[in-house]
Every structure is written in structure tokens, then in C-alpha cells.
Structure 1
């Protein structure tokens, strides 16, 4: 990944950008769903929050990583974690 980014996007002043984005969800079964404040919606909603890492230079940008933010109450329910597809070692 590093070689690809250097070859295609390499330029002085490159930065890593971390962005969290919430998406509204109905129900309780979607992995990592929970009620929390969403800046996107401007209120507390039932949402999932994804955190993205992007590398950007004046030549362009590329997504280099992503993950779901998992609220603490999910970790108190191992069966729910398993049903949602999280591996046992997920932290």
C-alpha cells in the first residue's frame, strides 16, 4: 500500500485524514448499531459510526483503512457480538 501511494500520490505535504461518519439504522441487529449523538443528523439517533483513514496530497487521495466504532455495551453481550460477525478477539 505504501509503495502504491508513494508512486501515485507522493508529494510534499501529504496528510492523514481521520473522519468519523454516522449512518442512521433501524433496529438493533446491525453490527455496532446504537443510540448516540450524530453530527450528521444533529441529534441522538440509532446509528452506526464508521471511522475512515485517508491519505491525501495535492495529487489526489486514497482510503487506506476503516473500522466500525463499537459501543461498550456490545462487549457486554458476547452472543450479540458473535451474531453480528465480530471475531472473539475484537477489541
Structure 2
């Protein structure tokens, strides 16, 4: 069973709680907010990376940018932070039959 849909739902919920639009987040902040264990760190970062690299990935959130920053609690360590944007629902476009002529 895949945890991917659950993580995507939590990501969407996190963005809405933080005010929508664009939000910077780290995996550590995301894990702490939802009480996710450390053993799922690679799962969360992998999904965020997949959303960033694959524009066809089906998610209502997009990772726009990834930056490496120093961890404020452990300055010798670098972590990735992700700029996540909640996408508006895509509207279906219906073509009139005369448009093809």
C-alpha cells in the first residue's frame, strides 16, 4: 500500500492551514506539524522532489523551488526547504465544433 496519497492530502492541508498561496517548508516542519515519525523523512522528501521534477505529477500542489539552507538548530547541517504553491483547480475547456474548421 502506498502512503503517497496520504502525504499529498497532508501537504494540501498544510498549505491551507498556513494561509494558502505559496509557502516555504522543510520536511522537519512538515513532520512536526502532523506528528509523522523520523522514519518517513525520506518518503516525504521523495514525494516533494517528485512533484518538483515531474510537471505531469497529479497533485494540487506544486514545488516551485528547492533551496539548501543551514539548519538553525544544528548549523553544521544543511537541509532542503521547498517553496510549495497550491494550484487552482484546472477548469475544463470545452471546444465548440466550429473551432476545428
TM-score by length of 1: 0.21
TM-score by length of 2: 0.20
More helix by share: 2
More strand by share: 1
